[in-house]
Amino acid sequence: MKRAGTIVSLTILMILMSFSFCFASGLELLDSYPKDGSNDARPENFLVKLYFNEDVSAKEVQAANESAFTFKDSKGKELKVRALYDAKKPNEIWVLVGKTLDSDSSYKLYISGDLKMANGDTLGEDKVISLKTRNLSTDNNVNMGLMGVMMVGMIVFTSMSAKRQLKKHEEEEKATSDAKVNPYKLAKETGTSVEDAVAKTEKERQKARAQAEKKNKGKAQTSAITTATIDTESASDAKKVTGPRPISVTGSTYITGRKEKAEKEREKNAGKASAGTTRPKNATGKSKNKKSNKK
């Protein structure tokens, strides 16, 4: 009996000790943003997010926790801060600095160990988060450098495009000037006769004309090939008809006005032919006169 009582007592004691260990951890700071030691924070609207393992947003402790945060610069000057809470994120406290910080400067956020939650548990020990703001001059230089590279690229691209257009224009002008040569001016410049200059000019014109015809012929052949391809494709879908066919082929007995008129004319001519005529066939007035003169 005594042995059983001892076992029960030890069991209860172990259960109580396990509960005490579970609740002994208390309030803890898990993380922050920016993280401790970071140096890339923007100096404008500086905000530090603190993440805890327990609910720290209870209204009954917010007023007491206002004095738990201290923010100082590298010279130890204290800056005004404000603690912000979000009901949807009860395990977070946001510490907002009341002014714009200096660029490329070091700061520290001190969190008091007296920071507590609704059940009375406190953080237990002070915490310090060291931070440094970004160097805005370096950021501006990098941005200016990128803009400069973009501008140079645009200028180079525009210059190359303009050179191509100018070269094309010069080639066109050269071709035009070569085709229009003044033989008298050429004879004076070369010291030859006008006849030789005219012959040379004509030869150059024929050469230019041949080149232009060759170029146009190539374009025409390309166009003809394209047209032939289109015609072939169209012809493959077209249906051929051997010739006109009368409507009676389809079984229709309808007689148009022209056909009826032609049939009446044919019957009239046939009636005249069967009745005969006093005028010889193919006889004209002149042939009659010739016959009478012979008599």
- Its sign, for the CA torsion 162, 163, 166, 168, is negative
Going by C-alpha positions, the residue among 206, 217, 156, 213 that lies closest to residue 179 is: 206
**How far, in Å, CA of 132 to CA of 136, rounded?**
12
What's the topology of domain 29-134?
Answer: Immunoglobulin-like (2.60.40)
d(CA 106, CA 115): 24
DSSP secondary structure string, 21-68? HHTSS---EEEEESPTT---B-STT-EEEEEESS----HHHHHHHGGG
Q: CA–CA separation, 93 vs 115, rounded Å?
A: 11
The candidate with the shortest Cα–Cα distance to 54, out of 30, 27, 89, is 27
Q: At what angle do helices 183-190 and 194-237 cross, to 10 degrees?
A: 130
Cβ-contact 76, 108 below 8 angstroms: no
pLDDT of residue 160: 86
- Asked whether the bond before 34 is cis by omega within 30 degrees of 0, the reply is yes
Q: Measured between alpha carbons, how far is 273 from 267 in angstroms, rounded to an integer?
A: 10
Q: In terms of pTM, does the model score above 0.75?
A: no
Task: Provide the 8-state DSSP code for 287.
Answer: H
Q: What is the gyration radius of the CA atoms in the chain, in angstroms?
A: 55
Structure tokens at 162: 């303009």
Angle at CA of residue 264, ends 259 and 270, nearest 5°: 125
Task: Please list the pLDDT of the chain residue by residue as tens digits (295 residues).
Answer: 556 666 766 677 676 665 444 444 589 999 999 999 999 888 999 999 999 999 999 999 999 899 999 999 999 999 999 999 998 999 999 999 999 999 999 999 999 999 999 888 999 999 999 999 998 887 777 777 788 888 888 888 888 888 888 887 777 766 665 555 566 666 666 777 767 767 777 777 777 777 777 776 666 666 666 656 655 555 555 555 565 666 566 655 555 567 677 778 888 887 777 665 555 555 555 544 554 544 4
3-state secondary structure of 90: coil
Two structure tokens written together for 96: 């907002």
Question: Where exactly are the structural domains of the chain?
Answer: 29-134, 136-173, 183-230
Q: Are 70 and 127 in contact (CB under 8 A)?
A: no
Q: Please list, in sequence order, all residues whose beta carbon lies within 8 angstroms of the beta carbon of residue 108, skipping any fewer than 6 positions away.
A: 71, 72, 128, 129, 130, 131
Biggest CA–CA distance in the chain, Å, is: 184
Alpha carbons 131 and 73: distance in angstroms, whole number: 10
CA–CA separation, 134 and 101 (whole Å): 10
Distance CA 57, CA 283 (A): 134
- Check residue 255 and give its pLDDT: 54
What was the pLDDT predicted at 226?
62
Q: Which residue has the tokens 């391809």?
A: 229
Q: What type of residue is 4?
A: A
Res 22: pLDDT: 44
What Å distances lie between residue 146 and 136, 137, 142, 153, 159, CA to CA? 15, 14, 6, 11, 20
pLDDT value, residue 183: 61
- Contact between 120 and 23 under an 8 Å Cβ cutoff? The reply is no
pLDDT of residue 146: 82
Task: Say what the pLDDT of residue 150 is.
Answer: 86
